[in-house]
Amino acid sequence: MKIGSVKIDVPVLLAPMAGVTDYSFRVLCREMGAGAVYSEFVSADGIIRENTKTLDLIRFNEIERPIGVQIFGKDSKSMSQASRYVVDMFQPDILDINYGCPVPKVTKKGAGSAALQDLCLMEDITLAVVESVPEVPVTVKMRIGWNNEKIVIPEAGERLQNIGVKAITLHARTTKQRYTGKADWDYIKILKESVSIPVVGNGDVRTADDMMRMFDTTGCDAVMVARAAQGNPWFFREAKARLEGQKVPSHPSVFDIAKMCCRHFNLLIENRGERTGTNLMRKHFSNYIKGFPGAAIFRQKLVTAHSLPEMRVILKEFLDKARAIDVVQEF
């Protein structure tokens, strides 16, 4: 598929996730076959103020391309200025507008999925961004509506396409659902049938089987994966094999998981420093270390470890344990 002029070799994308899709995780997912990756969502106001922490969320390496930077904001002026700044300073392949975040601290400010309550405001913001960065494809990630009484699909999709948006990712839940209940994939199909630009399906894709079923039932052009990839960047390797009709790789061994966990940890420390890196890795330990004897003990030790040296000692123990488990399983 193509988003504007950007070619996506594998139509399985890593979703933007706050506190998760930083440089270290994006690199691992790209190596495993993700067709494109996205930054954590970043505030337009923070970009304009040149807030260091905000700008650090945007920085990426060339090996991550194609990469999209996702921004959010409450008005057309700030979003236009922020878009121009991001493109001038970082040159991402895609600029994505967040109309999907359901978190109250974002929506109460009128940003994220709050725009679903006012399609005129959504149009104003989107047009301002499209006009400010004509050389980069602008995309949108959104939900189906604010609540079940205010569904905006397919009207919103048609408006966004007419403005010049090059692709739409649809998380098939309402804002009020947040991440609960069941995603209604019928709306992905409805959106796909109402626009000519690429539609990316999102929501309740937990396995490669789910991915294939979403393609089959909705006709979407690509699938975006979020929680299913946490602690499991191998998802993209399996997805790529399934789509290309190749032999599906075997599930990673416990030792494979341990090595990936250590690599993720080292990338985080290298990129974010000791203090930030160790704190950020705690959530990832919980995602990687599960499903084998003694997993809970190692997970608890790592999540509660007080220092980098302590974490490294425990990780070495984890590697040794994982190697021993795999040897036993071979027999």
Judge whether residue 326 has pLDDT over 90. no
Q: Does domain 254-330 have CATH number 1.10.1200?
A: yes
Question: pLDDT, tens digit, for every residue of 281-294?
Answer: 999 999 999 888 88
Q: Any idea which residue has 């499991």 for tokens?
A: 232
Catalytic residue ranges: 101
Q: Which residues contact 193 (CB under 8 A, 6 or more apart)?
A: 154, 219
**For the whole prediction, is pTM greater than 0.85?**
yes
Asked if the bond preceding 66 is cis, omega within 30° of 0, the reply is: yes
* Rg of the chain (C-alpha set): 20
Confidence of residue 330 (pLDDT cuts 50, 70, 90): very low
CB atoms within 10 A of CB 16: 27
Q: What pLDDT score does 66 carry?
A: 97
Judge whether residue 327 has pLDDT over 80. no
The number of CA neighbours under 13 Å toward the Cβ of 241 is 14
Q: What pLDDT score does 164 carry?
A: 98
Question: pLDDT, tens digit, for every residue of 124-171?
Answer: 999 999 999 999 999 999 999 999 999 999 999 999 999 999 999 999
Question: pLDDT, tens digit, for every residue of 231-241?
Answer: 999 999 999 99
Cα dihedral: 59, 62, 66, 72 (round 10): 10
Q: What pLDDT score does 104 carry?
A: 86
Q: Say which CATH topology domain 2-243 has.
A: TIM Barrel (3.20.20)
What is the SS3 assignment for 302? helix
Question: pLDDT, tens digit, for every residue of 223-280?
Answer: 999 999 999 999 999 999 999 999 988 889 999 999 999 999 999 999 989 999 999 9
Strand 6-7 relative to strand 37-38, pairing: unpaired
Q: Which residue blocks in 244-294 are alpha helix, DSSP H? A: 254-272, 274-288
Same fold, 2-243 and 254-330: no
Q: What pLDDT score does 329 carry?
A: 55
Confidence of residue 105 (pLDDT cuts 50, 70, 90): confident
Q: What pLDDT score does 331 carry?
A: 37
Average pLDDT over residues 192-216: 97
In the chain, % of residues over pLDDT 90: 86
